[in-house]
Structure 1
Amino acid sequence: MKKPSDSGDTGYGIGDLLGLGSQSVRKNYYPALQDRIEELEKERNRYKWLFENALHGIFQANLRGGFVAANPAMARMCGYDSVEELITRVVRLREQLFCGSGEFDVIRQEILDHGSLSAREARLRRADNTPVHVAITLLRRPDLGPEVVEAFVADITERHQAREKLRQLNADLERRVEERTDELQNANVVLRYQIEQREKVEQELVVAVDAARDANESKDKYLAAASHDLLQPLNAARLLVSALIDSNLPVDESRLVQRVQRSLESAEDLLADLLDISKLDQKAMQADYVHTDIGALMRGLAEEFEPLAENAELNFRVRVGVGRVRTDPRMLTRILRNLLSNAFRYTAEGGVLFAARKRGPNLEIGVWDTGIGIEKAKLEDIFREFQQILPKGGSRQGVGLGLAIVERMARVLRCEIRVESVYGRGSCFSVLIPLTSVAQLPAGLPDRETPMPASSSFGGLQVLVIDNEEPVQESMRALLARWGCQVVTAGSAASAMEYCQSTDIILADFHLDDELTGCEAIHTVRRHFDRDIPAAVLTADRSDDTRRLITAQYLPILNKPVKPNRLRALLTSLVASLNPERD
């Protein structure tokens, strides 16, 4: 009887299933099986080594209970000394492993729904009840049980701390941005306030500037009106005094009349200087550049100062320049006149030289005198307002505006003023005009002395004076009659044509009655007599507009108060134009 096998009714045992049913077969397959078992053992040992030495935590657990298995990394991560301690002490994952039961419930539900969970961040409870931040990956193992899972856990504490630090930095940055924004908003509020205040100040400044401009215009109008009203009686007084001086008066009376003349001259010079310095300070005096004959300009000034030189018994020499200069003749004449006036004022004996010469790249027109001279320490002060260099024991003459006017007018004309002086021996003041402004200037200016013309004789010269001020008519008639002129005076062009049958020269005031001008009166008389009668305008109005208007009519101008020597020079020039052979 066959011995029953271990296979029961089937008749197959385990050995049969493995192919080892017979003894011969077992002997044939045993080496291969042994090799396979060894390979499996090695594989198991390798996975065991990886499991036990992994850097991240690995565990198998039942979500309804605790750990089934865990590696040492998991125990260390949770703060336990060994795996056995971890498994023994943590028997409920929900309450003992996770920091929050709600967090565990969410993870459990998600693993049950989806079967896996990847890198979910969570907080696990350590043995000392402190939290550890982890990233956990779960895989459900339904083959081992309905809620059995295997998990891989990475400690992300450093990442969490870095993230928290970044969040804190962001929070600090946001706070600083908010603070800075508040500061900027406050600064903007302050700035807006400052801008509003500045705009308010600017508006007030505009109003103030407009008020100042209106005040200046009012002042200019006042000065113009006041100068006209003051200069008119001064003009009449000067002319009457000049007529008295030409009369044969007793010595005492003559001396008194000369003192009156000097007082009137001082008043006239002071008023003229104040008007000019006011215009220069306001930059209201502009240069009108025209080509000017230097020789004619210097000869006119020489004729003007010759009587003064004769009265002072001073030697007055003139070396006239040749050529035409592009300049403002009125301003250049005023500069040179002030220099000549100072030279004669401060020269008691000797003489004055008035000369022009080429000096390097400039045309130099200078005034040399043998007067009191100026100390070197005071040379820089003489061009300031109200500064005067007085001789020892000398009295003050004028108010000290002459050289201040010279310096400022020269600046307007872009010329240079030079001064050289030796105290006690004399001074030299000169004006340097760049040669680029000179036309038709020969290589060398004449070095000869030009003789001064003798006083002109106006015997029989018919002069028509048109002026709406009777005192001025009377004084002009008295002075011109002393010079041998036949004078007819009138207050307007209409009355002049009524009483005057013929005339050689017309002298007309600029401002006449009924808002008419001397220019219009001159043209009316010329049309009446149907010839171009030589004429000039006498005016106390020193404004630039008035000067330009008269100059545009090609009429000479003589400012009031009229100085006799300037009037004589003007008459001489007008008489010369009567000669048809002269331009």
Structure 2
Amino acid sequence: MFAERRPFESPTRGANLAMALDGQTALLPYALGVFAVSLPIFVWVGSFAANAFWIVASFVVFAINWGAFYGAVSWLRGEASQDLKRRARVQLLGGMLWAVTVAQLSAFAAAAGPVRETLLLLATAAAVMCIFFSATSLPALLLTAPVAAAGPLVALFSRPESRHAGVMAWGAIALTLALALVLNRMIRRQHAMVEAHDHLIEERLAVLDAAERTARSKSDIVATLSHEIRNGLTGVTHVLAAAAGKGGRAAPSREQLNAALDAAHDLIAVLNATLDSETAESGRLAVDALPFDPVRLLRDLALLERPHAMAKGLELAVHVDPLLERRVLGAVLADAMRTRQIIANLLGNAIKYTVRGRIEVRIERRGDVVAIEVADTGPGLSAEELEHAFEPFRRVERTGAGVNGAGLGLSLSRQLARLMGGALEASSAVGVGSCFTVTLPFDETLNCVAETEEEAAQSAEAPGAPRSLRVLIAEDDALNAAMLRAILEQLGHQVVHAQNGRRAADLARIADFDLLMLAGRMPVLDGPGAAAAVRALDGKNRYLPIIAVTDGDADEARNCTEAGADIVLRKPVSVAGVARAVADASALQRLSVAARAAA
């Protein structure tokens, strides 16, 4: 998750520069103190010089340096010093100023008469101090040291009588420079240790933050599911108990049955949203980028939601950009199922929270994207409430009271939109309404032409398209098996049930089937194992279309497809989902038969 780093790896250039400058800044008061103590000594020795001008010049030079350094120190306390490059130039110029001062002192000392050698040795001491106080920054050290040392050394070696002192001065400067380089190396190593320590702290804080988010997420999931499932199942249980005649209760009315059905649908929606949200949070939610017709998808959803809107007295209108009408070149490049999930959630929220007025759905082309807007005349949200609405497990108390939901719809929809290369944005005003906009990638070079109803009917009646299939289902859960059997029989198919994958593989070995539907997790032999066993058979069942019915786990789905499953269907299944999966499986079977015949 984080880049690996050795404990004493060199820090980045910017970090090293910042630490070096901080070190120099910390030494500034000490440097000024040392030069302040040294000034009286220079002046006292200079009083014995033959040239009185030297004393006046020394005072002037030190006054200039003190004023410059006072300005630099004041500047370093301001916001302008946050620019590292500018700060480095200022501090380097400050060090060079003292180095040039040493050169000036050496020039004056060269003509000081009897105290010439003493003053030059004092200038050498000043050069040593410049080298020491520049040691924290390697560029400053390499530039300041030669300038500061050049003046006294040149003056001492210029006359024979002072060459012996020049040799001592050269040795002192060389030793100081060597020690300064060692100190600079130690400081750089210390900088590396500090940065590694800070990096380690950041890693630990990030891990701690991730663990806290995970803990909060799990806690929110438990709290949400316990509340929603308990309330929903309680209502469904009462209605079923009345329908079964337990406790002498009267048979439930149509309204009670519809309420129980709505509660069951809400529970399924909460579970699906929770599962998808956790899968997306862990980075295991996969989306497909395939071309599809967004207009048809939008109109299908509006057709499904219009009865709910009419039941509340709401008007539901759909506006389509003429450029996106059927038979026009271009298609949205995204996951059709996930797009349907996003739009269905936005439409459902609009109908759920709008008491009166209308809901408008608009789809239009905007450059290289398609924008789908869902606007309502609901209660509206403030800027703060709108921000909370996109947070997982957060519901707006002002508008969400008495409305079922887990508070995951908008956060999950935004995650799905981003995974498909799009975005979900919103605008709202209290008392006016809200508008949610989904943008998805659009490719005008693709041609995604939807079938008309007549073409679909002709395709369904085409030769070779089986009207009734012999389906083998492998499911260890009795309730899931009963529900899947009921859906398949409702669709007109014949069903044989096996309680585990081993039994399903044995049945496929001795009997002919048109389709195999198997659960991902089963005892004795799981879904991937059963799929692999069927693919290893001899005979035509080896090419049997296989639909894996999984719990929604990405790893489980991948294992099933790698073992030979053709289609993955997620639980809980619906009539429309099963019908679509069976139709896709039948199409795959026809293609497989045609390919084998051609071979």
In the superposition, the TM-score normalised over structure 1's length comes to: 0.51
| Residues 329-365 of structure 1: per-residue CA shift (max 9 Å, x gap) | 4443332232233234335678766664434543233
Cα distance, 1:215 vs structure 2? 11
AA aligned to 1:342 is N
Of 493, 503, 523, the residue aligned with 1:495 is: 503
The equivalent residue for 1:560 is 571
Distance 1:521 1:334 in 2: 29
Q: Which has the higher strand share?
A: 1
AA aligned to 2:519 is D
Q: Does 1:402 align with 2:413?
A: no
The equivalent residue for 2:23 is none
Q: 1:409-488 residue pairs with structure 2 within 5 A?
A: 409-419=416-426, 428-436=435-443, 439-440=446-447, 462-478=470-486, 480-481=488-489, 486-488=494-496
| Sequence identity percentage | 21
Of 115, 121, 125, the residue aligned with 1:167 is: 121
| Residues 479-501 of structure 1: per-residue CA shift (max 9 Å, x gap) | 55566654322124553463995
AA aligned to 1:568 is A
Cα distance, 1:270 vs structure 2? 3.3
Comparing 390-399 with 161-170, which one deviates more in the overlay?
390-399
AA aligned to 2:531 is A
| Residues 5-54 of structure 1: per-residue CA shift (max 9 Å, x gap) | xxxxxxxxxxxxxxxxxxxxxxxxxxxxxxxxxxxxxxxxxxxxxxxxxx
Cα distance, 1:571 vs structure 2? 0.9
The equivalent residue for 2:380 is 374
Change (3 A) 1:392 1:203: closer
Distance 1:440 1:494 in 2: 44
Cα distance, 1:403 vs structure 2? 0.8
| Residues 303-347 of structure 1: per-residue CA shift (max 9 Å, x gap) | 876887798898777779644332234443332232233234335
AA aligned to 1:165 is L
Change (3 A) 1:460 1:481: same
Larger Rg belongs to = 1
Comparing 182-191 with 412-421, which one deviates more in the overlay?
182-191
User: How well do the aligned residues superpose, as a CA RMSD in angstroms?
Assistant: 5.8
| Residues 469-526 of structure 1: per-residue CA shift (max 9 Å, x gap) | 2332233335555666543221245534639956555432223334532595398289
Contact 1:363/1:434 (<8 A) preserved: yes
Q: Does 1:510 align with 2:520?
A: yes
Change (3 A) 1:346 1:519: farther
Contact 2:424/2:439 (<8 A) preserved: yes
Q: Which has the higher helix share?
A: 2
AA aligned to 1:468 is D
Distance 2:559 2:408 in 1: 28
AA aligned to 2:407 is G
Change (3 A) 1:331 1:479: closer
The equivalent residue for 1:144 is none
Distance 2:440 2:354 in 1: 26
Of 330, 343, 354, the residue aligned with 1:336 is: 343
Q: 1:29-48 residue pairs with structure 2 within 5 A?
A: none
Distance 1:560 1:339 in 2: 22
Contact 1:326/1:437 (<8 A) preserved: no
Change (3 A) 1:357 1:205: closer
The equivalent residue for 1:65 is none
Change (3 A) 1:461 1:282: closer
Q: Does 1:386 align with 2:393?
A: yes
Distance 1:576 1:157 in 2: 103
Q: Gaps (5+ residues) in structure 2?
A: 1-109, 136-175, 461-465, 592-599
Indicate the SS of the match to 2:370: strand
Q: Does 1:270 align with 2:239?
A: no
Q: 1:188-199 residue pairs with structure 2 within 5 A?
A: 192-193=189-190, 195-196=192-193, 198-199=195-196
Distance 2:391 2:187 in 1: 46
Cα distance, 1:171 vs structure 2? 3.7
Indicate the SS of the match to 1:513: coil
AA aligned to 2:498 is A
Change (3 A) 1:336 1:383: same
| Residues 246-284 of structure 1: per-residue CA shift (max 9 Å, x gap) | x99975276666555444444443343334334444545
Instruction: Count residues in correspondence.
Output: 404
Contact 1:462/1:485 (<8 A) preserved: yes
Indicate the SS of the match to 1:162: helix
| Residues 60-99 of structure 1: per-residue CA shift (max 9 Å, x gap) | xxxxxxxxxxxxxxxxxxxxxxxxxxxxxxxxxxxxxxxx
In the superposition, the TM-score normalised over structure 2's length comes to: 0.50
The equivalent residue for 1:536 is 547
Distance 1:157 1:379 in 2: 80
Contact 1:464/1:503 (<8 A) preserved: yes
Indicate the SS of the match to 1:385: coil
Distance 2:303 2:533 in 1: 29
Distance 2:487 2:184 in 1: 78
Distance 1:176 1:491 in 2: 88
The equivalent residue for 1:574 is 582
Contact 1:317/1:354 (<8 A) preserved: yes
